[in-house]
Chains A and B, each alone.
Chain A
Amino acid sequence: MSTEGTTNVPEEGPTALERFINGVLPENPIYRQLLGMCPTLAVTNAMKPAVTMAAATAFVLICSNIMVSLLRRLLKPHLRILVFTLTIATFVTIADRFLAAYVYEMSKQLGPYVPLIIVNCLIISRAEICASKQGLGVAISDGVGMSLGFGLGLATIATVREVLGSGTWFGLHVMPASWPNWGIMALPPGAFITLGLLLAVAEWATEKRASTALWRTVRMLWSWRH
């Protein structure tokens, strides 16, 4: 944290590029940090609501990161959480009104989960960890990276649930017509079980042994083809 008058001294902490890359995979909000579980489970029964949710969250996250980063020298330690929450609530109100005005059907379908972005731990944790300590550029790239990571997480879960649950992807039929829709995947239990299994897959893939085994298989296949 830099103080007044020392603005030319580079601020400590990761650089903008590091923040961006970290947000997408190494510190993925859903698979690595388990943040923002409420929308992750609630709106991923199909791709369309998941993408809308990811976009709304991205808007709020980036705007609140910008705002908090600009205000960071004025923040008082004991009031900062309140300032973060009220900033986020303001942007969520904007996003909610915007969705209600332009994509009314989707806004109806998402229902209370749009206002619940206010209490998405991801946004407040980025304000606390990054935006309140670092400059505007870093805060923006952190917001963009984290939003991409969050959108990626939502999209993977929604893909699994929509393809298995209704045989479609973004409303297009991708499974054969004889596919018996697994109704449970579109219902609450399917959300919990899909996320649990995907977390295990992510955990397994990042384990060192597994990734070397995977790498060896790929190399073997490659040498066999040539």
Chain B
Amino acid sequence: METLTALILIFIGAALINNFVLHYFVGICPFLGVSRRVDTAFGMGCAVTFVISISTLLNWTFTHFILRPGAPLPAWVWQSLGGSAQTQIDLSVLSYIIYIFVIASSVQFVEMYVRRFFPPLYKSFGVFLPLITTNCAILFASLEVLKHMQDSTELWGLPQALALALGGGIGFTLAIALMAGIREELDLCDVPRALRGAGIALIVAGIMAMAFMGFTGVEKGVETALGSLLR
């Protein structure tokens, strides 16, 4: 039960309390660029959630078996080459290169797969897929997971990594869809000329960030509520 509570807390933390867009500022480019209409914004959000889950899954696998300090695969190779078992191998210096490679190629494969097998899905968010490679949110999720894989006493397992990725993706979808709704209304308003476009969007985002700051401390309440619910 404790693990379940921890998972839900990671999820809520990534989606609401420390929202990827409004607290960590990752994924700002699509947040400003693709938030003119609610339906395209929602499509973008779904595409990001999809890709973030897949690439975090792959990157967790690489990190767990190859990149983290004391990972099994390099140790096995080292020992079969005649090295001593005491040597701890840390390949985490390679992690950035491997992560970005995994993200770029998984986006390619997801795009081909979705186009081949789910044409309606491709129609709704396929056009956004190539844009996602350079979306900071995807890399950020993997980096957050890496941060929790450094210390071998409290390693993050796959469930924790996926909870973070899903929470981040859903938080991104929430933020971009809300933003698009506000911008649709803003089109009808008389905005000063210099502020039109990105300026007013950023100010709206600032007010949204202030609203999301209201979630600070929610985790304590959620923890107590879950504790009494699951007991």
Contact = CB atoms under 8 A, between A and B. Distances in A.
Interface of A: 34, 37-38, 41-42, 81-82, 85-86, 89-90, 92-93, 96-97, 112, 115-116, 118-119, 121, 124, 184, 187-193, 195-197, 199-201, 203-204, 207
B136 A41 contact: no
B88 interface: no
A200 B199 contact: yes
Given A112-B24, A118-B96, A193-B206, 17 more contacts: A38-B29, A38-B136, A89-B96, A93-B94, A116-B26, A119-B135, A119-B136, A187-B209, A189-B210, A192-B203, A192-B205, A193-B203, A195-B202, A197-B199, A199-B199, A200-B194, A203-B195
A11 B133 CA distance: 31
Contact of B139 (A81, A115, A195): A115
B182 interface: no
A193 B202 contact: yes
Contact of B195 (A90, A187, A188, A200): A200
A72 to B, nearest CB: 20
Contacts of B195: 196, 199-200, 203
Sort A-B residue pairs by CB-CB distance and give the 4 closest, nearest first. A192-B206, A196-B202, A193-B206, A37-B28
B29 A121 contact: yes
B200 A196 contact: yes
The DSSP consensus for interface residues of chain B is: helix
Contacts of A121: 29, 134
A122 B111 CA distance: 24
A121 B29 CA distance: 9
Interface in B126-156: 133-136, 138-140, 143-144, 147
A189 B136 contact: no
Nearest to A198: B199
Interface residues of B, number: 42
B229 interface: no
A86 B101 contact: yes
Nearest to A31: B198
A115 B157 CA distance: 22
Contacts of B189: none
For B25, B32, B134, B200, the residue with the greatest tally of chain A CB atoms inside 10 Å of its CB is: B25
B117 to A, nearest CB: 23
B104 A97 contact: no
A211 to B, nearest CB: 13
Given A42-B24, A190-B206, A196-B201, A85 B143 contact: no
A207 B196 CA distance: 13
B79 to A, nearest CB: 27
Contact of B23 (A96, A112, A124, A188): A188
28 contacts: A37-B28, A38-B26, A38-B29, A85-B100, A93-B94, A93-B97, A97-B93, A112-B24, A116-B140, A118-B139, A119-B135, A119-B138, A119-B139, A121-B29, A121-B134, A188-B22, A188-B23, A189-B207, A190-B206, A192-B203, A193-B206, A193-B207, A196-B198, A196-B203, A196-B205, A199-B198, A199-B199, A207-B194
